[in-house]
A and B are shown apart, each in its own frame.
Chain A
């Protein structure tokens, strides 16, 4: 099992550019989520999904889109990058409906917007 994988590991964008951060998991987890982590801020939830075809907003969704066409993949799209989106992005997944389960995090994508 590869667990949760994210690509790319690093990315530099110019203001106004768009891009997609990829996230995939091979554990057949229903629940997937995206977080951003800024210095001194902990992790903040951007969007999450409880299964294919179902997504919802988290704490900081503005400027980001998501879709979930398969159980395995949960891409995060930046429509028009802004310097405020410079951050480290983590994707996570977990089984739905299991009280004892936990979230597994991917290795992260470090994004810089100039």
Chain B
């Protein structure tokens, strides 16, 4: 059975802090790992990672994948209150686009 574990489950920080969110996985026939941000509505896509060691970056957010150790991290630097959200990690199994999601990390950024 595919498994995706995110940690921590929740995190409270102050504006300006840097945070690291973790995602470890066990999946048959791994194809890709995806990060989503979910505020009050539907998840919105952040990153897709398929290769080890290549950092994806978008503004203050960055992510990297380690296929040997089966984990990914999502970094957010200089956090802002608008970063408050649930961050979801999902792993895609090859051949059928099935995504298995982790339970998410609830990030709260206080002013």
Min CB–CB distance B75 → chain A (angstroms) = 20
Question: B13-21, B37-45, B60-68: which lies at the A interface?
Answer: B37-45
Q: Which of B48, B50, B88 contacts A42 (CB 8 A)?
A: B88
CA distance A31 to B96 in the complex (A): 9
CA distance A43 to B50 in the complex (A): 21
The answer to whether B48 and A59 have CB atoms under 8 Å apart is no
The answer to whether A41 and B98 have CB atoms under 8 Å apart is no
Which A residues are CB-close (under 8 A) to B100?
A: 45, 59
The answer to whether A48 and B101 have CB atoms under 8 Å apart is no
Min CB–CB distance B87 → chain A (angstroms) = 11
Which B residues are CB-close (under 8 A) to A66?
A: none
Q: Which of A40, A50, A99 contacts B50 (CB 8 A)?
A: A99
The answer to whether A45 and B98 have CB atoms under 8 Å apart is yes
In the complex, which residue of chain A has the Cβ closest to the Cβ of B44?
A: A105
Let me know if A1 is at the binding interface, CB within 8 A: no
Residue numbers of B with Cβ under 8 A of A are 4, 6, 9, 31-32, 34, 41-45, 48, 50, 88, 90, 96-104
* Other 8 A-B pairs with CB < 8 A, given A31-B97, A48-B96, A96-B97: A33-B99, A50-B97, A56-B96, A58-B98, A99-B50, A103-B45, A104-B45, A105-B43
